[in-house]
């Protein structure tokens, strides 16, 4: 049963400007594993914007309650390249309250826009 669906878009240049303008913003939005590729290189801005969109979409799928912490949701990448969500803390508590047992996430970026769709399944 679908409990919630969320979608979000982020303008990549605008997101990049926000990260450059606000020291420490990336650390408030992402955990270290999200900021770097498996090779250790820093992840590109389009990929980070898509991950930010996924976190926004996740919040919408949960009904957009206040008090969720950005770093309590992590967008991981499987060896196949498929994105996967990992939740803990405030996000896990809200998901448990709603009966979420599985997450589905899709990320994309093209033409200066990053997007994400999240489905919460119970």
Q: Which residues are annotated as a binding site for Mg(2+)?
A: 8, 56
Three-class SS state of 50 = helix
Smallest CA-to-CA distance from 78 within 114, 116, 49, 107 is with: 107
42 token code pair: 């820093």
Q: Report d(CA 41, CA 6) in Å as an integer.
A: 30
Residues making up the annotated binding site are: 8, 56
Three-class SS state of 34 = helix
Task: With beta carbons less than 8 A apart as the criterion, state whether 114 and 53 touch.
Answer: yes
E strand or H helix that includes residue 114: strand 113-121
């Amino acid at each position: 049963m679908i409990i919630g669906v969320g979608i979000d878009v982020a303008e990549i240049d605008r997101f990049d400007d926000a990260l450059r303008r606000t020291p420490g913003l990336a650390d408030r939005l992402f955990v270290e594993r999200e900021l770097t590729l498996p090779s250790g290189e820093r992840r590109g801005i389009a990929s980070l914007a898509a991950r930010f969109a996924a976190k926004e979409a996740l919040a919408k799928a949960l009904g957009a309650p206040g008090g969720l912490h950005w770093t309590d949701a992590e967008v991981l990448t499987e060896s196949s390249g498929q994105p996967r969500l990992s939740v803990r803390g405030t996000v896990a508590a809200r998901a448990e309250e709603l009966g979420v047992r599985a997450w589905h996430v899709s990320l994309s970026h093209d033409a200066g826009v990053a997007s994400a769709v999240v489905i919460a399944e119970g």
